[in-house]
A = this chain, B = another copy of it.
Amino acid sequence: MTSSDPTGGKLVRNQGVTAPLGFRAAGIAAGIKASGRPDLALVFSEGPEYSAAGVFTRNQVKAAPVLWSQQVLKGGRVRAVILNSGGANACTGPGGFQDTHTTAEELAKALSNWGTETGAGEIAVCSTGLIGDRLPMDKLLPAVTEIVHEMGGGLSGGTDAAHAIMTTDTVPKEAAFHHRDKWNVGGMAKGAGMLAPSLATMLVVLTTDAVATPEQLDRALRNATRRTFDRLDVDGSCSTNDTVLLLANGASEVVPTQEELDAAVLAVCDDLAAQLMADAEGVTKRVLVTVTGAVDEDQALVGARAVARDSLVKTAFFGSDPNWGRVLAAIGIAPITLDPDRISVSFNGSPVCVNGMGAPGAREVDLSGADIHVVIDLGLGEGSATIRTTDLSHGYVEENSAYSS
């Protein structure tokens, strides 16, 4: 993506939530993680506006901070987001919800003391980590006051925040889009496992200095998540804590069109999704699964997701094995319209299956590189969709067999 991009701007990495004007951020070690690594992040909007929108996990088992933030977002107004890693605060009952509430109140008090009158109802809370344990509030609450004093307006504050939300992530994820009309969108993300199926297990905070209403932000955010995070599926698991927030402060005084806003938010989300895929737990292959020729886009998406989640397809890719029969078996069980004799498959552009039968040389296709693009043409219609996924490796098993202990 370059400055000649039709979206009218330029996408850059290594800039995140503080790339737009009028946002401050920080990341510190509160002592929630036993390792002593950074585990508390703050994103703060200086205004003058505080419009916001959010998208949350569809899991019926929702963490306390999700239940809290959903209520906050109903007002369409957010002044700050406080995020912790080191504990999901999920399945923690009324006590866990009270911990979230207390955290928001503590931050409101600290921000008010710092000079910005803030209510707890303007503060979103996000948590990530192990499910089922209460947070160490004796460490968290003093750190909430501390982080208010730490936050800065430079790019480094955003990067510190991106570091502090990491769990099994190996690198922070940031992206920013600078529109030529002098307004910007920035974002940070975390998430490496439990990635799917409607949003990855992820926390994402997006910021913009554009002038936009909560309704415009909501449209831009849903449009973007539907095409990016919703189509990232590492392991078919969907977490209790998924949260994507978009805050607008109007500091640029520019009012983009809805289409411009949609495109900019989509560009940032798409890049963050690619970064999440590339850093997924145990990943050795970045895999794109595209279904074309489906009767419609929804069916293409269902088919692509079925292949992207198939353990046998994913282990074959880990072994660089062009075992296309497993792709056929996986798509064949998807609840979509199929004619087995019209299915064709290619791996990285090389045909491996044509009209339901093996293509010459199919067993010799070289999949030893880090990127694999599977295209499955159903030969029925115009519907197409792509899912981002990864291989299923020893590293994934290793990392996930020893997480809570």
Contact = CB atoms under 8 A, between A and B. Distances in A.
A324 interface: yes
A370 to B, nearest CB: 15
Interface string A359-401: 0001100000000000000000000000000001110111011
Contacts of A321: 401-405
Contacts of A132: 324-325, 328, 353, 357-358, 362
A240 B272 CA distance: 37
Interface string A317-358: 011011111101111110000101101000000000101111
A230 interface: no
A14 interface: no
Contacts of A402: 319, 321
A177 B194 CA distance: 44
Does more than half of chain A's interface fall in helix, strand or loop, or is it mixed? loop
A290 interface: no
A172 interface: no
Interface stretch (A32-40, A55-63, A73-81, A137-145): A55-63
A90 to B, nearest CB: 7
Interface residues of A, number: 66
Contacts of A401: 315-316, 318-319, 321
B400 A340 contact: no
Contacts of A319: 400-403, 405
A156 interface: no
Contacts of A93: 341, 355-357
Contact of A310 (B60, B61, B236, B355): B236
A130 interface: yes
Contacts of A315: 396-397, 400-401
Contacts of A358: 91-92, 132-133
Contacts of A295: none
Contacts of A235: 311-312
Given A343-B61, A404-B323, A91 B356 contact: yes
A400 B237 contact: no
A112 to B, nearest CB: 33
Contact of A311 (B60, B91, B333, B400): B400
A239 interface: yes
A96 B123 CA distance: 64
Contacts of A311: 235-237, 311, 392, 396, 400
A274 interface: no
A269 interface: no
Interface in A68-100: 88, 90-93
Contacts of A398: 394
Most buried by B among A60, A133, A316, A393: A60
A197 interface: yes
A321 B323 CA distance: 32
A283 to B, nearest CB: 13
B61 A130 contact: no
Question: Across chains A and B, which 4 residue pairs bring their CB atoms closest together, nearest first?
Answer: A131-B325, A319-B401, A61-B332, A315-B400
Interface of A: 58-62, 88, 90-93, 130-133, 193-194, 197, 235-240, 309-312, 315-316, 318-319, 321-326, 328-333, 338, 340-341, 343, 353, 355-358, 362-363, 392-394, 396-398, 400-405
